[in-house]
Amino acid sequence: MSTPKGSGVKPVRVHHIREAKEHGERVTMLTAYDLPTARIFDTAGIDMLLVGDSVGDNILGHANTLPVTVDEMIPHVRAVSRGAQRALVIADLPFGSYEASPEQALATAIRMVKEGGANAVKFEGGERVVPQVRAITGAGIPVMGHLGFTPQSENILGGRRVQGRGPAAAERLTKDAVALQEAGAFAVVLEMMPAPVAAQITEVLSISTIGIGAGAACDGQVLVWLDMAGMGDWSPRFAKQYAQLGAALGAAAQEYVAEVKSGAFPAPEQSYLQ
């Protein structure tokens, strides 16, 4: 999506995402968890930055996203919000912070906006979370949905498994997507589902679909930035590594160790000589 017209940096907001869908223009989203990466991705032209509860297994060392708390999320949301001048900043509501009631969901969303500086929130589920979507959007906070493989439900789903296989499952996902749209969501993430199912949902909806392991027909795409940038030895099948930053960072650290031990660093140009 191109930068909105006008002088200076113009922020991307929800109506720009809607306009992109209307014009057939694809949108981009990456996760971000800190200020430096948020600045880099923002400058690169990423439309949306997702402060995902994936901070749990990618940054905080948890086995999955389930242990992440609201208090852990907010400093990351705040850092990304401070680093983004253009991108729409979306904060995940972590497991246990919205399921109990619309009132709980609204309270959590308000914290993400008021304390974290987020522009919107995201959480998982279809028809079952419609009351939460309505409560939050009714308070003036934009909501992005999340269907397909939903990491917070991995225990009941039996692990990281593709969802939506078979006519009945595909119909269920489509109904959930329509329910989210009618409740006021401005977009929905479609994760790990057959590409034809994601294409069908995208065709049915008037709001944007953001794919991750859901094929090329979605209105936009999202990846965890560490997967996109090759920060580890492994990445999901649906992720493309656009760089090998992990290997480059490791090589830089090894060179630093070698130069410190040999005395080559610091050299005169890195020293104050008088």
Q: Give the dihedral sign, CA 204/209/212/217.
A: positive
Instruction: Tell me the mean pLDDT in the region 52-76.
Output: 97
Identify the three-state secondary structure at position 221.
strand
Q: For residue 19, what are the contacts with CB-CB under 8 A and spacing of at least 6?
A: 25
Q: Say which residue the tokens 């009351």 belong to.
A: 131
Q: Give the separation between CA 54 and CA 64, rounded to whole angstroms.
A: 8
pLDDT interval class at 1 (50, 70, 90):
low
Q: Answer whether residue 259 shows pLDDT above 90.
A: yes
Answer yes or no: are the C-beta atoms of 114 and 141 closer than 8 Å: no
Q: Answer whether residue 154 shows pLDDT above 90.
A: no
Q: Say which residue the tokens 């930053």 belong to.
A: 245
Note the pLDDT tens digit of each residue in 178-212. 999 999 999 999 999 999 999 999 999 999 999 99
Note the pLDDT tens digit of each residue in 220-250. 999 999 999 999 888 899 999 999 999 999 9
**DSSP string computed for the chain:** -PPPSSSS-----HHHHHHHHHHT--EEEEE--SHHHHHHHHHHT-SEEEE-TTHHHHTS--SSSTT--HHHHHHHHHHHHHH-SSSEEEEEPPTTSSSS-HHHHHHHHHHHHHTT--SEEE--BSGGGHHHHHHHHHTT--EEEEEES-GGGHHHHTSS-----SHHHHHHHHHHHHHHHHHT-SEEEEES--HHHHHHHHHH-SSEEEEESS-TTSSEEEE-HHHHTT-SS---TT---S--HHHHHHHHHHHHHHHHHHT-SS-GGGS---
What amino acid positions are annotated as catalytic residues?
191
Domains of the chain: 14-243 (3.20.20.60), 244-274 (no CATH)
Return mean pLDDT, the chain. 95
What are 167's two structure tokens?
A: 């006519």
Burial of 256 from C-beta contacts in 10 A (0-12 / 13-18 / 19+) = exposed
Burial of 253 from C-beta contacts in 10 A (0-12 / 13-18 / 19+) = exposed
Q: Answer whether residue 4 shows pLDDT above 50.
A: no
Note the pLDDT tens digit of each residue in 111-141. 999 999 999 999 999 999 999 999 999 999 9
